[in-house]
C-alpha cells in the first residue's frame, strides 16, 4: 500500500533559475532590486552610507548593531557621536547589498524603538570625512620618499622613532584608501580608521 502512495509524496524539485522564463515585469523588478536574472549571474552589490539619528538611551547602539548581526546584513564601518542635542546620537553606517537588501535595512532601522530618523546618503550631495592613523616603517634611504607622500596627501606626523613614523590623515574614504595603498610597499605596522561620517552638502553647485 505504501509503495503505491509513495510516488505521490515525492518532493517537487524546483527548476533551476536558468530554465525559468521570466516575464518583462519580473525582469524589470529584478533589475531594479539588483538581483541576478539567472543562476550564473552575481547579484549587483552596492555600498551605501546611512545616517541614523537615535535617542540617547541605554542599549540604543547595541540594538542597531544587533539588528545587522541578527538579520545577516553586512556592516563595513560604524561611527557614532553626540549631536548638538544631548538627547540624540548620530550614527553613520556603511553597508553593502542589493537594492532590496538595503531597503530591508532601512525599514528595520526605522522600526527600532530608539530611532528618530534614518536617511540613505548614497545618492545625495554630501561632504564626508574619515580619520586615519597609520604607522609605517622607514629607513634613511626611503625616509624622504615617505615624507613626500605624506605631504602630497596633506597628512601630519604625530609620532616618530628611528624605525617608524606615525601619521594622521583626514579626508574622504577614497583619499584614505589611496594613502594606505601608497604606504603599503614601505611596510605598515599599524592602521586605525575611524569609519566614515557624512552630512548633506548645504550648497550644491552645478547640476
Q: What is the pLDDT of residues 48-94, one digit of tens each?
A: 999 999 999 999 999 998 999 888 888 999 999 999 999 999 999 99
Task: Over range 128-134, report the average pLDDT.
Answer: 96
Task: Over range 179-207, report the average pLDDT.
Answer: 89
Please check the confidence at residue 10 and state whether its pLDDT lies above 60. no
> Which of 119, 130, 134 lies closest to 175, judged by CA?
130
> Which of 90, 98, 130 lies closest to 114, judged by CA?
90
Cβ neighbors of 37 (< 8 A, separation 6 or more) are 17, 22, 27, 30, 31
Inter-CA distances, 50 with 117, 196, 197, Å = 10, 10, 9
Q: Is the pTM of this model over 0.75?
A: no
Q: What angle do CA 162, 191, 132 make, to 5 degrees?
A: 105
Q: pLDDT tens digit string along 22-41? A: 776 776 666 666 666 666 66
* Residue 86 confidence (pLDDT): 92
Q: Are 147 and 200 in contact (CB under 8 A)?
A: no
* Residue 175 confidence (pLDDT): 96
Amino acid at each position: 500500500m505504501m509503495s503505491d502512495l509513495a510516488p505521490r509524496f515525492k518532493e517537487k524539485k524546483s527548476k533551476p533559475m536558468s530554465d525559468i522564463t521570466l516575464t518583462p515585469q519580473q525582469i524589470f523588478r529584478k533589475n531594479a532590486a539588483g538581483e541576478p536574472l539567472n543562476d550564473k549571474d552575481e547579484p549587483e552589490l552596492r555600498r551605501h552610507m546611512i545616517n541614523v539619528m537615535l535617542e540617547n538611551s541605554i542599549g540604543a547602539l547595541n540594538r542597531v548593531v544587533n539588528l545587522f548581526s541578527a538579520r545577516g546584513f553586512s556592516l563595513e564601518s560604524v561611527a557614532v557621536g553626540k549631536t548638538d542635542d544631548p538627547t540624540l546620537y548620530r550614527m553613520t553606517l556603511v553597508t553593502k547589498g542589493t537594492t532590496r537588501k538595503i531597503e530591508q535595512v532601512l525599514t528595520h532601522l526605522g522600526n527600532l524603538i530608539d530611532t528618530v530618523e534614518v536617511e540613505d546618503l548614497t545618492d545625495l550631495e554630501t561632504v564626508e570625512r574619515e580619520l586615519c592613523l597609520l604607522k609605517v616603517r622607514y629607513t634613511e634611504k626611503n625616509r624622504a620618499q615617505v615624507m613626500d607622500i605624506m605631504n602630497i596627501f596633506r597628512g601630519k606626523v604625530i609620532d616618530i622613532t628611528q624605525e617608524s613614523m606615525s601619521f594622521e590623515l583626514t579626508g574622504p574614504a577614497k583619499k584614505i584608501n589611496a594613502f594606505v595603498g601608497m604606504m603599503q610597499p614601505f611596510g605598515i605596522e599599524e592602521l586605525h580608521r575611524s569609519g566614515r561620517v557624512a552630512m548633506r552638502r548645504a550648497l550644491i553647485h552645478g547640476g
